[in-house]
A and B are shown apart, each in its own frame.
Chain A
Amino acid sequence: MTNSFQSKTFNFFQKNNIKNFIGVPDSTLKEFISFGLKNKKIIVTTREEEAIGIATGMCLSGSNSLVFMQNAGFANSLSTITSLVKLYQIPLIFLIGWRGYLKDDAPEHTMIGKVQPDLIKTIELPSKIITANNWEKNCIWALKKIKNNSPCALIVKREFHD
């Protein structure tokens, strides 16, 4: 499948004043991350919580930031999202690759993939699924959210096997 909307998404955010792209690599988001690495705009961290911390420091310095991760890493980050990002209303954009979206994805992703939509709703993080058809509209939605001081998430479904 083609993922070319991922580089467009990166470009779009860059042009719209998102200065920092920080996170832990995920194969679903490979194209987004590779594109950013080529442009020397990516910081790869050791864990997702760390990426959120660094992005928070940058946001506090008036520099808009996006944090990317796989949904396994989103699960790692729940406490950081509730006790830092939501608590202080840090306007971060999360970009999350959704493993376990396909029922026959690798077994380690099955359970977290199943609860992903409920989990994100439960912690009251507004989110949209982005695809090749709607990415621009939903990226504009995300920019509006952070402008209003609200963190938000964009989800990319894993619709292929490797």
Chain B
Amino acid sequence: MIRKEAMKIVLEKITSSPIISANGFMSRDLFELKEKNSNFYMIGSMGLASSIGLGVALKNPRKKIFIFDGDGNILMNLGSLVTIGNLQPKNLVHIIFDNNSHESTGGQPTASNKISIAEFGKICNYKVFTVTNQNSLRNCLKKLQKINQSIMIVIKISKSDVKSKRVSLKPELIKYRFMKSLIEKQ
């Protein structure tokens, strides 16, 4: 399973919920698969998707907030897991597409094959799932609604050459659309 395939399965479960997506290929895949106003494409500031997602989750407790993160991204900001575990928002779903590499910069390795991100999630008070194939991902997504706790789903994916188009929206437009979507009824 590559990132785009995994993301497609996740997106079948997300109709209008806000998504904060990490920079690089993550946001590009989301832009190509399911462009919507409630997507915040974080095109810079690598590592911070989970922090932005935490801020949105704390202020919108009645909405499920999805974070699309990569292993390279979260490894840059492990402190974010500590703060999420400290504040424990019940509406935060942190999805980590883990291909054990910095795919957007040429596929250089990360340490996620030797150091378990899922274990970090556990000690930081998340309910953690690790999935390795499409069936286990689908089964895991069915359980989400009933869980009253911050959730981490680590999806083990393979590297790929599939490249989505760039996010062509102006950053200020991404911001305004996203802000407006948060005050609209879902």
Seen from chain A, the residues whose Cβ lies within 8 Å of a Cβ on chain B are: 43, 45-47, 49-63, 65, 79-80, 82-84, 87-90
Q: Pick out which of these stretches binds chain A: B4-12, B101-109, B134-142, B171-179.
A: B171-179
Return the 5 tightest CB-CB contacts between A and B, nearest first. Answer: A57-B55, A53-B51, A83-B44, A46-B79, A61-B59
Identify 13 new A-B residue pairs, CB closer than 8 A, beyond the known A50-B48, A57-B56, A60-B40: A43-B87, A47-B77, A47-B79, A50-B80, A56-B48, A60-B175, A62-B183, A79-B45, A83-B43, A84-B48, A88-B174, A88-B175, A89-B175
* Cβ contact within 8 Å between B52 and A61: no
Greatest chain B CB density within 10 A among A49, A57, A59 is at A57
- In the complex, what's the smallest C-beta–C-beta distance from A160 to chain B, in angstroms? 30
Complex interface: chain A residues within 8 A of B175 (CB) = 60, 88-90
Complex interface: chain B residues within 8 A of A46 (CB) = 79-80, 82-83
Nearest to A65 among chain B residues (CB) is B55
* Cβ contact within 8 Å between A49 and B59: no
Nearest to A87 among chain B residues (CB) is B171
Contact partner, A54, options B43, B44, B54, Cβ 8 Å:
B54
* Cβ contact within 8 Å between B44 and A58: no
Interface membership of B42, Cβ < 8 A: yes
* Cβ contact within 8 Å between A45 and B48: no
CA distance A56 to B50 in the complex (A): 11
Complex interface: chain A residues within 8 A of B49 (CB) = 53
CA distance A91 to B75 in the complex (A): 28
Interface membership of B182, Cβ < 8 A: yes
Known: A54-B51, A55-B55, A90-B175. A84 touches B83 (CB 8 A): no
Complex interface: chain B residues within 8 A of A57 (CB) = 20, 51-59
Nearest to A81 among chain B residues (CB) is B45
Contact partner, B43, options A60, A82, A87, Cβ 8 Å:
A87
CA distance A82 to B44 in the complex (A): 9
Known: A43-B87, A57-B20, A58-B59. A50 touches B51 (CB 8 A): yes
* Cβ contact within 8 Å between A61 and B56: yes
Known: A57-B59, A58-B55. A45 touches B179 (CB 8 A): no
Complex interface: chain A residues within 8 A of B44 (CB) = 79, 82-84, 87
* Cβ contact within 8 Å between B52 and A56: yes
CA distance A59 to B43 in the complex (A): 17
Complex interface: chain B residues within 8 A of A50 (CB) = 48, 51, 77, 79-80, 83
Nearest to B48 among chain A residues (CB) is A53
Contact partner, A89, options B20, B48, B54, B172, Cβ 8 Å:
B172
* Cβ contact within 8 Å between B55 and A84: no
Nearest to A89 among chain B residues (CB) is B172
Complex interface: chain A residues within 8 A of B172 (CB) = 88-89
* Cβ contact within 8 Å between A60 and B79: no
* Cβ contact within 8 Å between A84 and B45: yes
